Structure 1
Amino acid sequence: MSRTHIEEPARSIPVLMEAEVVVVGGGTTGPIAAIAAARRGRKVVLIERFGSLGGILTLGLNTKPSGALLGGLPLELWNLARSVGAAGDDYMATTKTGGVRIASPVDPEMMKMLLTRLCVEAGVQILFETFVSAPVVEDGTVTGVVIESKGGRQFVGTKVLIDCSADADMAAKANAPFVMGSGEAEARMQPVSMYFIMKNVDLVRLADWARSCDDVPARAIPQDEEGLAYGLWLTGFNGMLRRFQEETGVRLQRDNITLKTADGQMYVNATRVLGVDVFSPAAFTAAILECYRQIDGVCRFLRERVPGFEQARLGQVSPILGVRETRHILGEYTLTGRDSRGETTFEDTIAADSSALDIHDPKGGDVDFQSMPPYEIPYRCLLPRDVEQLLVAGRCISADHEAHARSRNMPACMATGQAAGIAAAIAVEEGVPVRRVPVGRVQRVLREMGMPLRASEITSR
């Protein structure tokens, strides 16, 4: 018998707790939002489907923002990591279009601990290993979320919900409008990938070779051996990869490789799967399996062709797939490609960002990673249409496909999370909807935290 649907009987769901602010998603964005709101004395619940915080930064082994952290909670977090030896100094990466200032990678295991510590110290109630099934919307206003855990199906009430799920899961389930990727009929989305670690890499030998290798055009290579622990970054290997595939018959899906160090370990970004429907369990699983196949081929390439990797072996594979792009909410304003090139200023700006333009071609081809002028992100990009008491932060804010190539990067994600947390707290304090929060007050708080809000303020730094 073939079935397309089953009936689920109605049932009463117990209330687990009530909060003032609920943050869904404990990746790179959510903890910053939760800490920002909790430090203003609000009762905050942070709900995370895994057993640790940091998402793609930690579990995903990404380790590094593609830009500088210029103030506020993001910079505080990185300075804390530096104080315990879990991060190095920022560095200037050389690219085809000029230098890009990049925050140091971090030790992902230490960062899990630091994020958790800051949340607990701020008074955030974390719910690990908990999946949020759906928001509860009454008369167009979010009033809480339904969660699933070992404790069963329960309800957490809230006055403001912040969607930091990366895929706008809460906004979509609340019937807020959105587009997928480019928003076209055949939506273009940046491909998925999976990080891994190579152990036993001779970093000194690799750095010495890379300094004179024309096939590694984008790079940051410290002069001293000590700096290699957190400061080696290499992108390229295009010609070497082509020759390897021609000579061995191994087929890979990406034209280049990025290598970077954190705590003396080598993190590799070299896989790619195009056109994945991440909302299909079967397609998602197939993408993971394809990444595994590619990782095997990349390990062979590195050992056979790149000096310093002769004795290297696979050390760790990320347990999660790295997803770059899915839903973009349709907010009160949509950040455009022109905006992201620094050509627009906004009265309601809540962050200025200097991240690199980082496009992984939806159709394949080389990665477009380049320096660009700073730009501003307005508060309106965090406000989805058609639903009240909901804020969205992270890579699924209201931005078009081109602007997303910058706003998806960690510095921007953390900055929008910080602003959402402050705005949510102020909305509760003043008893106003998040759509009518006095943005000037949010901006004053951000400035007090040392956060630049104007693109012009970054160029002067």
Structure 2
Amino acid sequence: MSDTPNGRLFFRSETFRVEAGGSARRRHPRVTGRSLTEPARDIPIHAECDVLVVGGGPAGTAAAVAAGRLGARTMLLERHNHLGGLSTGGLVIWIDRMTDWSGTPVIRGFAEEYLARLPRDAIAGPPREAWGSRDAATAAWWALRTAAFHGIVTHSPTADPEWMKAAALEMVVEASAEPLFHAWGAQPVLEGNAVRGAIFESKQGRRAILARVVVDATSDGDLFHRAGAASSDDIEEADIHHAINTSWMFGGVDMEAYLRWRAEQPEQFGAFLQRGREAHGLFEKAFVSWRNDVALFMGPRMTGFSAVQVDDQTEVEIRSHRLMLAHLAFYRAHAPGFAGAWPLLSAPQLGVRHARRLVGMGAVTRALWDGRVAPDEIGVSPSLSPRFPNVSIPYGALVPVTLDGLLAPGRHLACDATSHSFLREIPQCWLTGQAAGIAAALAADSGVEPRAIPVRTMQQALLRQGVHLSPAIAAAG
């Protein structure tokens, strides 16, 4: 991590620039400039509810549970056959920091309860007494296991994606929220300047769900974008957070042997990575999972592709799957612990880190990493570095500037490109999703727009659901 002359902090990791239209790129049919006129038709109304959550990823799952627990009639629309989004279907099973640099848990509420539901053998990470430890040997050991940064041990577990799917589904059902799988949210239902539902595509064709409040948890801002709300898409080329790839896992490995090699033979390990790059161009190191015999690969991370262009998404999938098999052969031949490796699973969901970011009534920006507490705080995030205090997340970051009837938690919330590098992470999506679900339920119950919810009422509801707020906010009564 380092500061650039413009004062922005980058989270650096190896990315691979891939030029669009290069010789290795498949040729796809492009936009022709022609169009078809679709005849007007009646769209069946599939259901009506108080709160409709579109997208069952981390933010959407947390939103549905939070809204359902407040008694709102809640529906959760999901295009896949499971909940959890990138944390399950995307195999991003490494859950980034949920503690601050002192070891204090700050991302709590839904996130804490969710992980506590997992069986002991389905989650791995530092014990609670180690959180915040600066002991050099302890931090070095956990750094190899993606749970220590800057010499400090953090609560950053890895978890079994199937158990996470099961726990998420049970929490949604227990909250009396209704999941609807295999349904792709396609268009917002608009009444003037307000979103009052969504049209989805399914095996039954095009159908609609009407709602008092909609939570856009698509992660790419699909609904608020199609409703005309403003968004940003600027990125930092030196930062990892805009890269795309498909993750995968190998079974039949001995990760402890591999990690000993990394720690004890760093020059050999460096030469191994270099040979891999020379052989395959794009090459990634293995990460730990929740068990010793499963290795996780969260890359290679490719830039130069759009997360909202179907041709680019297809190209990334092709490249990623070819790279998976190339990695398998190379690791089997050259990496300790991988001689008997086999392809366990490639992620059924594409690993998108960035597409659009809402232009909201408020936003998290680099200038706000100074410890100030937002008056409309809905949660607290750890900062990127011990040099900075915790970051207060404002409710305004979920609320479009003018569009009513909609909230936008998750990785497409309002923030600058630098702050996005940590606000896109899974714990932060749980945090903002829970806040959006609470706000949506309160708005639906009181018959007002989400922007009109009294901040203190919302904060009290957050505290009752176990969310951590800054001491000044929590003590306000």
Query: Do Structure 1 and Structure 2 share a fold, with TM-score over 0.5?
Result: yes
Q: Report the CA distance shift for 1:347/1:105 in structure 2 as closer, same or farther (over 3 A).
A: same
> 1:276: Cα distance to partner?
0.8
1:367-392, Cα deviation, whole Å (9 max, x unpaired): xxx98642111000000122101100
* Inter-CA distance 244–153: structure 2 relative to 1 (3 Å threshold): closer
The structure 2 residue matched to 1:338, chosen from 335, 344, 367, is 367
* Alpha-carbon distance in structure 1 between the residues aligned to 2:383 and 2:170: 27
Partner of 1:432: 448
Partner residue, 1:234: none
Deviation track 1:199-224 (CA, whole Å, cap 9, x = no partner) reads: 111233224333424369xxxxxxxx
- Alpha-carbon spacing, 1:344–1:12, altered in 2? closer, same or farther (3 Å): same
Superposed counterparts of 1:133-172, under 5 Å: 133-172=186-225
What letter matches 1:88 in structure 2? A
| Structure 1 residues 180 and 17: alpha-carbon distance in aligned structure 2, compared to 1, 3 A threshold | same
Distance 1:351 1:129, change over 3 A: same
CA contact (8 A) 2:407 2:436 kept: yes
* CA positional deviation for 1:394: 0.3
For residues 353 and 258 of structure 1, do their structure 2 counterparts lie closer, same or farther at Cα, with a shift above 3 Å needed? farther
Could you report, residue by residue, the CA deviation over 1:49-103 in whole angstroms, capped at 9, with x for unpaired residues? 01111111111111121111632111000001146x4223446643563325133
SS in 1 for 2:158: coil
The one-letter amino acid of 1:79's match is A
Structure 2 residue runs of 5 or longer lacking an equivalent are: 1-31, 99-104, 132-141
SS at match of 2:123: coil
Structure 1 stretches of 5 or more lacking a match?
217-236, 358-369
Q: CA deviation at 1:269?
A: 1.8
CA distance in 1, matches of 2:298, 2:186: 32
Matched residues in 1 for 2:443 and 2:149: separation? 44
Q: Name 2:97's counterpart in structure 1.
A: 67
Q: Displacement of 1:412 after TM fit?
A: 0.6
SS of the residue 1:17 aligns to? strand
What residue number does 1:214 align with?
266
Task: State whether structure 2 residue 160 is matched by structure 1 residue 116.
Answer: no
Range with greater deviation from structure 2 (109-118 or 258-267): 258-267
Counterpart in the other structure of 2:118: 81
1:241 counterpart = 2:273 = yes
Amino acid across the alignment from 2:49: A
State the TM-score, normalizing by the size of structure 1. 0.84
Task: Report the Cα distance in structure 2 between the residues aligned to 1:102 and 1:297, rounded to whole angstroms.
Answer: 33
Find the residue that maps to 2:92 and give its secondary structure.
coil
TM-superposed deviation, 1:336: 0.8
Q: Is the contact made by 1:25 and 1:47 (CA closer than 8 Å) also made in structure 2?
A: yes
* Aligned twin of 1:220: none
- Give 3-state SS (helix, strand or coil) of 1:146's partner: strand
Q: In the aligned structure 2, how far is the partner of 1:240 from the partner of 1:371?
A: 33
Answering whether residue 327 of structure 2 is matched by residue 298 of structure 1, we say yes
Structure 2 counterpart of 1:144, which letter?
G
1:260 alignment partner AA:
V
How big is the shift at 1:3? Answer: 6.0
Residues in 1 aligned to 2:401 and 2:207: alpha-carbon distance in whole angstroms: 27
> How many percent of aligned residue pairs carry the same amino acid?
30
**Change beyond 3 A, Cα 1:215–1:379:** farther
Q: Is residue 288 of structure 1 aligned with residue 317 of structure 2? A: yes
Quote the offset at 1:244 in angstroms.
Answer: 3.5
Cα separation, 2, equivalents of 1:47 and 1:41: 18
Is the contact between residue 328 and residue 343 of structure 2 (CA under 8 Å) also seen in structure 1?
yes
What residue is the counterpart of 1:224 in the other structure? none
Give the Å deviation of 1:133.
1.3
Q: One-letter code of the match for 2:314?
A: T
With structure 2 as the length reference, what TM-score do the two structures score?
0.82
Instruction: Give the count of matched residue pairs.
Output: 417
CA shift for structure 1 position 298: 2.3
